[in-house]
């Protein structure tokens, strides 16, 4: 979890907990998981019987994706045994902004001028390029430039 936090890799951790009625009694394998994960998880909650379960899960996922952080939900024993029922989470549509990052137009124009004047341009694609690889490959072909990836971008394909 700490690796994910340091790398800013979205992570959702779901953990089991002893029954709520025995929390604080020193029961076998009891550990305050919300407290244990408080320093690593930006979103960190214990799911209760009265919780809005689907909404909590949506918030945990949203936090992990948007903030590129660790989210944690812990489920006491009695919650793990409740049938899911028909409750569904709300759609992500309209709840999450565009994840793609775009440079300022002035920066893009300056970069274009520099590339056009260069003799042997090289494209270095990092993790942030993962949603734009088609465009990057097209640009590399246009400029006849090799395309490389950074160590954090090693999962993207050029």
Q: What is the CA radius of gyration of the chain?
A: 22
CATH number assigned to the domain comprising residue 56: 3.40.50.970
Residue 106: per-residue pLDDT:
92
Q: CA-CA distances (angstroms) from residue 3 to 9, 37, 70, 92, 126?
A: 8, 14, 10, 27, 18
Residues 72 and 125 occupy one common structural domain: no
End-to-end CA distance of the chain: 29
Residue 98's pLDDT is 66
**Considering the domain boundaries, does residue 132 fall inside one?**
yes
User: Is residue 96 scored above 80 in pLDDT?
Assistant: no
pLDDT at 41: 95
Tell me, what's the pLDDT at 158?
52
111 and 76 co-located in one domain: no
Share of the chain above pLDDT 70, in %: 87
- Choose one of 80, 96, 131: the last residue of a domain: 80
How far apart CA 90 and CA 93 sit, in angstroms, is: 8
Query: Can you give the residue range of the structural domain that contains 136?
Result: 105-149
73 and 18 fall within a common domain: yes
Region 139-149: mean pLDDT is 89
């Amino acid at each position: 979890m700490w690796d994910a936090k340091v790398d800013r890799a979205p992570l959702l951790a779901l953990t089991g907990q002893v029954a709520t009625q025995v929390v604080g009694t020193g029961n076998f394998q009891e550990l305050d998981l919300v407290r244990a994960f408080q320093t690593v998880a930006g979103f960190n909650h214990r799911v209760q019987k009265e919780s809005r379960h689907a909404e909590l899960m949506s918030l945990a996922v949203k936090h992990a994706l948007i903030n590129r952080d660790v989210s944690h939900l812990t489920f006491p024993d009695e919650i793990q045994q409740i049938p899911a029922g028909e409750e569904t989470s709300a759609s992500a549509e309209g709840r999450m902004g565009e994840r793609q990052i775009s440079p300022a137009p002035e920066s893009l124009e300056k970069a274009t001028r520099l590339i056009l004047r260069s003799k042997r341009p090289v494209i270095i694609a990092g993790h942030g390029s993962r949603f734009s690889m088609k465009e990057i490959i097209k640009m590399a072909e246009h400029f006849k430039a090799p395309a490389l990836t950074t160590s954090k971008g090693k999962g993207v394909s050029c």
